[in-house]
Structures are given as structure tokens and as C-alpha cells.
Amino acid sequence: MLRPPRLPHEYIRGGTAKLLTLFHPATGAVRAKGVTNTPNTVLHPWLQAELSAILAALPPLPPTPRSPLCDWEHWLGYPPCAPVPPLRLLLIWDNLAGHYSAELVVWLFQHGIMPLYTPLSGSWLNMAESVQRILVGRALAGQHPQSQDDLITWLDDTVAGWNRHPTPFTWAGKRQARRQRARQRRLGGSGAALPDRQSFAA
């Protein structure tokens, strides 16, 4: 008789692992790296290397005028105070102190990257948090890691598997439709709606 896999009840404290993540919602592509800790000395060089690779892969700017959304002034609210290259990327991330590092912010502007910060207590707006939950859940499903190296290897392998068939994240997309159908099933009853206050159902 087949039995489902079970996890041992012992809890072995072998350390933790973190997942540095850059996520492109329109394509679902993930750039990530498993690490044991995330001080600025680890995060910033990784981030700069990944962003440089993304910029190098972008197509050249079109000769025609671009949308106002592609202007620095649209996001800053005023013209840049110093010469900067054309805006190429928007980087959305949390309000952590290290994300405001003057050296890093200057580097971003010098490379045509506009940092946008989610509100305080609004990390749920950062879609990288959503994809991290999915990746971590898949990496740990039915697994019993013995070390930090196990965790990091599983995370890296899960990211590689995700990128073979990435799922774009869209507002009001398939996930929302599935949630609405599930909500209707829980509510039960008729799915009919009255078009106005003058209509009655008997």
C-alpha cells in the first residue's frame, strides 16, 4: 500500500537561507540567488550585476518620442537635478534602510534605473514577495533539509525550473478569475444579480 511521504517530527536548527529576487511580472522571469544572509555587501553587488545584465539585454531606444511614463520627471515630479541617461527600468522594492543607500541610489540613476519604494507596511504590494512564496513553497514541499546548503540548492533548482515555464503575473488575470469562482462556490446559491433597484425576483 502506498503511503504519503511524512516529515520527521524532530526539528533540526541548521540555519536559514534567504532568496535574493528580481522579478519581471510581465514575463514571469525570475532572477534569484540563495544566500545565507543579506547585508548590503551581499545584496548590492548582486543587484548591480543583475541589473547591468538586464540593461545590456534591452533593445536600443527608439528614435521616436516615448511615452511620458518613460520620463524621469513623470516619476520624480520635477526634472532631474543632474544629467542622467534616459530612463530604462523601474525598480520596485521595499522601504528597507539599505535600499536608500546614497551610493546605490546614485548608481541606479546613473544607469537609467528609477527606484520606486512601496509604502511602509505595504510589502504585499511588492510582487517579488508573491513569487518568493510560490518558489519557497515548491522548494520545500515534502523536503527535509539537513543544512543551509540543501536549502540554497533546492531554491536555486526551483528558480531554474520556474524559468523554464514562467508564469506572467497580471492584474485581474487568471488567478483572480479562479479566486472569484472559488468564492462563488463557497457562497452557494444563485449567481444572478439584480440589474437595478426596480427589478424584483420572485
Per-position DSSP letters for 116-155, written without gaps between them? EEPPTT-GGG-HHHHHHHHHHHHHHTT----SHHHHHHHH
C-alpha–C-alpha distance, residues 156 and 31, integer Å? 10
Tens digits of residue pLDDT in 101-112: 999 999 999 999
Q: What percent of the chain has pLDDT over 90?
A: 39
Q: Strand 18-24 to strand 89-93: parallel, antiparallel, or no bridges (unpaired)? A: unpaired
Q: Is the pLDDT reported for residue 153 higher than 80? A: yes
Confidence (pLDDT) at 7: 63
Question: How large is the average pLDDT for residues 171-186?
Answer: 79
C-alpha–C-alpha distance, residues 27 and 179, integer Å? 22
User: Hey, how many other C-beta atoms are within 10 angstroms of the C-beta on 80?
Assistant: 12
Confidence (pLDDT) at 8: 63
Confidence (pLDDT) at 57: 94
Confidence (pLDDT) at 194: 42
C-alpha–C-alpha distance, residues 55 and 108, integer Å? 11
Among 4-13, 33-42, 149-158, 178-187, which is the least confidently predicted range? 4-13
Q: Is the pLDDT reported for residue 196 higher than 70? A: no
Confidence (pLDDT) at 106: 94
Q: How confident is the model at residue 10 (pLDDT cuts 50, 70, 90)?
A: low
Q: What is the DSSP letter of 170?
A: -
C-alpha–C-alpha distance, residues 188 and 103, integer Å? 56
Confidence (pLDDT) at 177: 81
Residues near 185 by beta carbon (within 8 Å), at least 6 away in sequence:
none
Tens digits of residue pLDDT in 118-137: 888 777 777 888 889 999 88
Q: What is the DSSP letter of 184?
A: H
- Quick one: angle between helices 127-140 and 148-164, nearest 10? 110
Of residues 194 and 15, the one with the higher pLDDT is 15
Confidence (pLDDT) at 188: 57
Q: Is the pLDDT reported for residue 114 higher than 90? A: yes
Domains of the chain by residue range: 18-164
Helices (H), 36-173: 40-57, 72-76, 102-110, 127-140, 148-164
State the chain's mean pLDDT as an integer: 83
Looking at domain 18-164, its CATH superfamily turns out to be: Ribonuclease H-like superfamily/Ribonuclease H (3.30.420.10)
Residue 51 in contact with residue 71, Cβ under 8 Å?
Answer: no
State residue 137 phi and psi, 5-degree precision: -60, -40
Q: Strand 18-24 to strand 29-35: parallel, antiparallel, or no bridges (unpaired)? A: antiparallel
Confidence (pLDDT) at 198: 42
